[in-house]
Amino acid sequence: MKILIINAGSSSHKSCLYNLTNNHLPEHSIEPIWKANIDWTVTKGQGILTVKTNETKKNNVLNYNSSCQGIIQMLNTLIEGKTKVIKNFSEINIVGHRVVHGGTDYSEATLITPEVKTAIARLIPLAPTHNSSNIKGIKAIEKVLGNVPQVAVFDTAFHCRIPLKSAAYPIPYEWLEKGIRRYGFHGISHKYCAEKASQILNKSLTSLKLITCHLGNGCSLAAIKNGISIDTTMGFTPLEGLMMGTRSGSIDPSILIHLIRKYNFTANQLNTMLNKESGFQGVSGISADLRSIIQAVNEGNSRAQLAFDMYIHRLRLHLGAMLGSLGGLDTLVFTAGVGENSAIVREKTCEVFEFIGLKLDPKKNNDFPVDTDVATDDSTVRILIIHTEENWAIAQECWRIFNQKYLPL
C-alpha cells in the first residue's frame, strides 16, 4: 500500500511517500521511500525543489505561475528521472493532507468530498495562509491523480473536546455563537507525542496527565488528560499563547487599539507586525531562529538576551497554566525543532519546576536524546524528548480510513 502525504504551507511544501508492504500497520514509524520539499521564499515565481530517495538527492529550481503548478512539477519526480520510485501514479492508493483549520465541523480525519473542500475554503479567513494552500494541494492531486481517495487530517481536531470553560473567551456570548472561540493547533503533533509517550512509558494513555510542548518556529502547549486535550495555548488563531519565532503570542489587546488610534495602523499592518515581525525576530532584531539568538547571546548582545529571557519566562508562565488545568502532572514532553534540539531551553524551562518533583538529568539532557526519558531517577515527573512525526501520524489515519472504506470485509 502506498500513501502519499501532502503538507502544503504558505512558504514551503513538504511531501513524502510511504510504502507499506504488508496488511498490518507497523507499530513504529517507517522511513518514506521518497521525500520532497519546495521552498517558495527564494524569488517570486521560483522555488527550490529538493527530492530525496534511498538512492539519490536532487535539487532543482522550479519556474511556475502558481503554487499548484509547482506541486505538480514536484509530483512528477515520483515517476521520472533519478528520483523515480513508482512506475505510474496509479500505484498510489490514498493521499493524506495536513489541513490546519477544521473549525468545529471536524473532530477527526475525514475523506475529502466537495462538502469538505467547501468547509476548508470557508475557514480560510481563520487560517488564511494555510487553508488556502491546503485547497491548492487538494486541487493539484485531483489534477494529477484523478479520483484517488484523499483524506484531510485537521490540526484543530485533537483539541475539539476542550471544555467550553477553556474554549470560550470572556467576551459577549453572541461571539461564541458566531464561532469565535479557542480552536487550538499543532494537534497532529500533540496527539502523536501523547501516544508515543504512552509507548515509551509503557503506561495506558488513559492513565496519564501530560503537558506536550511543541516548540518550533510556531509554539504551543497542550494539557492532555486521559488521552484528551483539555487545554492548549493557541486559540482562535495560531497567534495566541507563547512567544514564537516571528509571532508575538499573547499580548494586551489594548496595545492594538492604541496603535490604531495613535499611529493609524491598519488591520493588515497589525497582522504583519504580530505574525511576521514579532517574537524572536522583533525583540532581538537579529533572527527568528533560536540558534542565531543563542549565538548572539554568547557574543554579549543584550537584545538577544532579552528575547531569550522573555521566551523562557513566557514558556514557564504558560506551563504553569497548563499545570493548573490538569491538576497535576505525570509527564512533560518536549518536541519539534527547538523542543527536540535545544538542551538550554529544556534546562531553563525545567529548573523552576523542581517544587513539583520535576528533576532534569543534565547529562541525559545534553546527550542529544531522541524518544527517551531525560528525568533523574528520583524525579516524580518524567521528562520525555520525542521526535514528532506528523507525516507518519497522517499516514496512520490514511491507513485506517482506507482499510475501513475500501478493503473488502
CB 345 within 8 A of CB 313: no
Q: Read off the pLDDT of each residue in 121-149 and give the average, rounded to a whole number.
A: 87
Would you place residue 9 in the very low, low, confident or very high pLDDT band (cuts 50, 70, 90)? low
More confident residue, 164 or 44: 164
pLDDT digits (tens, 9 = 90+) for 85-102: 999 999 999 999 999 899
Q: Is the pLDDT of residue 68 over 90?
A: no
pLDDT digits (tens, 9 = 90+) for 181-192: 999 999 999 999
Q: Read off the pLDDT of each residue in 309-320 and give the average, rounded to a whole number.
A: 98
Report if residue 207 sits inside a domain: yes
Would you place residue 303 in the very low, low, confident or very high pLDDT band (cuts 50, 70, 90)? very high
Q: Read off the pLDDT of each residue in 104-120 and give the average, rounded to a whole number.
A: 91
Report if residue 189 sits inside a domain: no
More confident residue, 222 or 72: 222
Q: What percent of the chain has pLDDT over 90?
A: 76
Report if residue 165 sits inside a domain: no
Distance CA 271, CA 64 (A): 28
pLDDT at site 71: 84
What's the mean pLDDT when you consider all of the chain? 92
pLDDT at site 409: 43
Catalytic site includes residue 155: yes
Mapped onto helix, strand or coil, the DSSP state of residue 263 is helix
> Nearest Cα to 236, choosing from 215, 223, 255, 253?
253
Same domain for 141 and 283, yes or no, is no
Same domain for 146 and 240, yes or no, is no
Report if residue 406 sits inside a domain: no
Distance CA 110, CA 116 (A): 8
DSSP 83: G
Residue 355 one-letter amino acid: F
148-175 residues labelled b (16+ CB within 10 A) or e (exposed): ebbbbbbbbbbbbebeeebbeeeeeeee
Q: Read off the pLDDT of each residue in 116-124 and give the average, rounded to a whole number.
A: 91
Contacts of 329 (CB under 8 A, 6+ apart): 209, 210, 211, 323, 356, 358, 381
pTM equals 0.91
pLDDT at site 64: 66
Q: Whats the size of the chain, residue-wise?
A: 409
pLDDT at site 252: 97
250: number of Cβ within 10 Å: 16
Q: Is the pLDDT of residue 338 over 90?
A: yes
Report if residue 302 sits inside a domain: yes
Three cell numbers written together for 264: 493609524
Distance CA 88, CA 237 (A): 39
pLDDT at site 66: 65
* Backbone dihedral region for residue 284 (phi beyond 0: left; psi -120 to 50: alpha; all else: beta): alpha
Output the domain CATH number for residue 81.
Answer: 3.30.420.40
Report if residue 403 sits inside a domain: no
Same domain for 282 and 215, yes or no, is yes
Structural domain for 30, as ranges = 2-154
> Nearest Cα to 39, choosing from 63, 14, 2?
14
Three cell numbers written together for 131: 487553508
Active-site hit among 155, 252, 361, 377: 155
Q: Which of 136, 154, 172 is the last residue of a domain?
A: 154
Same domain for 105 and 211, yes or no, is no
pLDDT digits (tens, 9 = 90+) for 368-394: 888 999 999 999 999 999 999 999 999
Same domain for 367 and 224, yes or no, is yes
What are the E-state strand segments in 107-249? 110-111, 150-154, 209-215, 219-225, 228-232
